[in-house]
Structure 1
Amino acid sequence: MIITIDTGTTNTRVALFDGKRRVDLVKASVGVRNTSIDGHNQLLLNTIAEAVSEIKLRQKLNEEDIDAIVAAGMITSNLGLLEVPHLIAPVSLDDFANNIHSAVIPEISSQPIHFIPGVKNVDTDNLASIEGLDIMRGEEVEALAIADAYHIRHNAIIALPGSHSKFVAMDANQSILGCCTTLAGELNAIITGHTILTSSLENRYTDTLCQASLVAGYDEAERYGFGKALFSVRLNEQFGGKQHHQLASFLLGIILHSDIKAITATPHLHFTPETPVYIGGKGILCDATASLLARNFPGNDVIQCENVDDLSAMGAMYVARKAKLIS
């Protein structure tokens, strides 16, 4: 049995696996954001300890029944439980395995917890400017999970749309070459709920993607820029007779215009007109990203990886197997 810990900015997931099969899961709305607010990590520590205890109790497990505890994500930041330095890209699977930091945290378990490091594009100890700089903690194992599940043995980009969308470049040896981050999901939330457009958008997202409106929003941003394109949401509602799902899709097109620009322009992603893009996750942001990539780059394969669950846990266990911590 393997326990995985995935801590992000606002949430933590503690799961129990038997091989690759998830047996149990505890989710909590606690993350490193709470550490930042409180000035200490006690709440995060207590939350993870309670989750591990709950899983053991529910499954009637003792300490010796657990083969390993593996952790990834923001838990390895200075706001987490154990700060682990980022590895500098390019980072191979061996590099991840050889740089796992293990520590016993008695409040959680008498066994060591194995913390997997994140990745940064450049050496920040010798930083002349932030040009080319990007960082991630957690998305690296999600990208590796997709690489493992889809047997990726060629240059590719792994897209992970979300509040903070990540785009991860990988080579034929599954080495991570670099990444880039956007605020796509967060921008969508702010614009939908906290601007003059909130009324037009009814302060809610849509579950129905309108392809024509998505493309229209993208093209509007291409022609006129982000700010003017945004105001066109209100114009379309007031004078264009557009329905809610069309307006919300139009907004996604505007926001994702800059994501597409980031994918193609970021040097560390090594994008070419032939680079396949694998999109991890489910939902309208993933669907919209896939649609616009396929429309703008018909020569690039765009693969939606909707059948891979527990990406962080699967990637963490992939690294742990490479490090021979689990079989």
Structure 2
Amino acid sequence: MIITIDTGTTNTRVALFEGKQRVDQVKANVGVRNTSIDGNNQLLINTISEAIVELKNKHSLQDSDIQAILAAGMITSNLGLYEVPHLVAPVSLEGFATNIKSVVIPSISTLPIHFIPGVKNLDTDNLQSVAGLDIMRGEEVEALAIADLFDIEQDAVIALPGSHSKFVSIDSKQAIQGCCTTLAGELNAIITSNTILTSSLENRFSDSLCNEALLEGYQAAESFGIGHALFQIRLKEQFEGKSHEQLASFLIGVVLHSDIKALRSAPQLGFTSGTPVYIGGSGLLCEATAVLVKHLFPEAPVYQCNDTQDLSAVGSMYIAKKANII
């Protein structure tokens, strides 16, 4: 059995696996945000310790039954359990494997926890400018999970839409070349719920996507900039009688205009009009990203990896196997 820990800003998942099959999982609304607020990581320690105990007791497991405990994400930051410095891209699978930090934290387990490092695009010692710089903790293992599951053996970009969307560039040997972060999901949420447009958007996301409105929103941002394009949502609601689905889709098009510009322009991604794009996850942001990339770059193969689950855990195990931990 393998235990995986995935800690983000607001949530932690501790899962039990047999091979790549998840047997059970404990979720908690505790993340590194709590460490920042509390000034210490005791709540995070307690949460993870209790989750591991719960999984072991529920499945009648002893320490001898646990092959490894793997950890990735913000848990390796200065607000997590154990800080592991970012590796500087490019980072190969072997690079991740050789830089895993294995640490026993007695208040959690007598078994070592294997912490997988994150990635930064540039060496930040004596950095003069953040141009070209980006960082990630957690998305690197998700990207490698997709590379493993879809047997990627070519230069590609892996898109991971979400609150903080990531584009991750990998080469034909599955080495991570760099990443680029946007605030797409967070912007979509803030505009939907905390602006003059909240009434027009009914303070909620749409359950479905209108491709025509999505493309119209993208084009409005291209023609007029994000500010006026956004105000058009109110105009369309008041004077064109557009449906909620159309208005919410238009908004996503406006927001994702910046994502597409980042994909095109970020030097660390090396994207061209023919670069394959793998989109991990499900939901409207993922669907919308696929629609826009297909429309704007018809020569680029687009793969929607929407049936994937447990990407963080699968990627962590992929690296751990390379390190001969499992």
Relative to the length of structure 2, the TM-score reads 1.00
Structure 1 SS opposite 2:125 = helix
Which residue number corresponds to residue 143 of structure 2? 143
Q: Work out whether 1:219 is the aligned partner of 2:219.
A: yes
Which residue number corresponds to residue 30 of structure 1? 30
**Which aligned pairs between 1:76-155 and structure 2 lie closer than 5 A?**
76-155=76-155
2:65, 2:107 → 1: CA distance?
Answer: 18
2:200, 2:208 → 1: CA distance?
Answer: 16
Paired letter, 1:229 = A
Cα-to-partner distance string for 1:256-277 (whole Å, 9 max, x where unaligned): 0000000010000000111000
**Which aligned pairs between 1:1-12 and structure 2 lie closer than 5 A?**
1-12=1-12
1:16, 1:77 → 2: CA distance?
Answer: 23
Which residue number corresponds to residue 183 of structure 2? 183
Structure 2 SS opposite 1:124 = coil
Q: Equivalent pairs: percent with the same residue?
A: 69
Structure 1 residue ranges without an equivalent (≥5) = none
**Which aligned pairs between 1:267-282 and structure 2 lie closer than 5 A?**
267-282=267-282
Name the count of aligned residue pairs: 326
Structure 2 residue ranges without an equivalent (≥5) = none
**Which aligned pairs between 1:120-269 and structure 2 lie closer than 5 A?**
120-269=120-269
1:240 positional shift: 1.0
Paired letter, 1:93 = L
1:273, 1:279 → 2: CA distance?
Answer: 16
Which residue number corresponds to residue 307 of structure 1? 307
Paired letter, 2:208 = T
Structure 2 SS opposite 1:180 = strand
1:126 positional shift: 2.5
Cα-to-partner distance string for 1:264-319 (whole Å, 9 max, x where unaligned): 10000000111000000001110000000000000000100012210000000000
1:128 positional shift: 1.0
Relative to the length of structure 1, the TM-score reads 0.99
Structure 1 SS opposite 2:122 = coil
Structure 2 SS opposite 1:125 = coil
Which residue number corresponds to residue 20 of structure 2? 20
- Structure 1 residue ranges, 4+ long, deviating more than 4 angstroms after superposition: none
Q: Work out whether 1:64 is the aligned partner of 2:64.
A: yes
1:273, 1:198 → 2: CA distance?
Answer: 36
1:99, 1:323 → 2: CA distance?
Answer: 9
1:288, 1:126 → 2: CA distance?
Answer: 39
Structure 2 SS opposite 1:159 = strand
Cα-to-partner distance string for 1:179-224 (whole Å, 9 max, x where unaligned): 0000000000100000000000000000110011000000000000
1:307, 1:147 → 2: CA distance?
Answer: 14
2:146, 2:266 → 1: CA distance?
Answer: 21
Which residue number corresponds to residue 50 of structure 1? 50
Paired letter, 2:103 = A
RMSD: 0.5
1:227, 1:107 → 2: CA distance?
Answer: 50
1:108 positional shift: 1.2
2:30, 2:126 → 1: CA distance?
Answer: 34
